[in-house]
Structure 1
């Protein structure tokens, strides 16, 4: 997952905007997650803030993606990100895969709510934010 990501960051959510439309398809709505970057583990080491688009509704009907909780303000995590195609008119990122976030609690422990993918199970076995960062850094 690390090698497929253009950027991997650790940080905290500072804001969530809902109901945003990207590109020409006006039926899909996105939540835009603003993250204060505490450390950049892969890719560009600037800026100190990133925006992540997560699809959240289709034709006005909200939906959830298994293994991809929409984080709340203050949530800490490591995000695995890919740049967005410029045609969407959004200068930000999307998750590398649907569960491309490893959420952690206030003590730096991995929260087990990431679904049943191989990467999600591995993140839970790592147990801490420090361990996740070490694995990402080694993977380069």
Structure 2
């Protein structure tokens, strides 16, 4: 017996265009609605400002301590009394200078903590710890 194909069993080989047309019409309407909102702009005149160069950067103070506990102020050795006087004078400057603290790797923490406490007592607030990368 030969198999017979009904019309219902045949595969439909054409593409249904109705959903594609519906999507295209929806996109067309969305673009038509949003286009006037995008192109209409508000005229706005912003105030003009002349920029002047910023004030000079605050002075930097390099304070270093080596493994032996010797304190250096801008590469000049200082004792405790002179250090306290220099820190107090630096704290009184406007703008306050940035204190850059260098400490040798072998320096005891006690020496670093003493320098930090002296800077805090003097009133210095901008203290930077400077480290050197491992070589």
- TM exceeding 0.5: no
> What band does the TM-score fall into relative to the shorter chain?
under 0.3
Q: Which structure has the higher relative contact order (CA within 8 Å, separation 6+)?
A: 1
- The structure with the greater share of residues assigned to helix is 2
TM-score (norm 1): 0.21
Larger Rg: 2
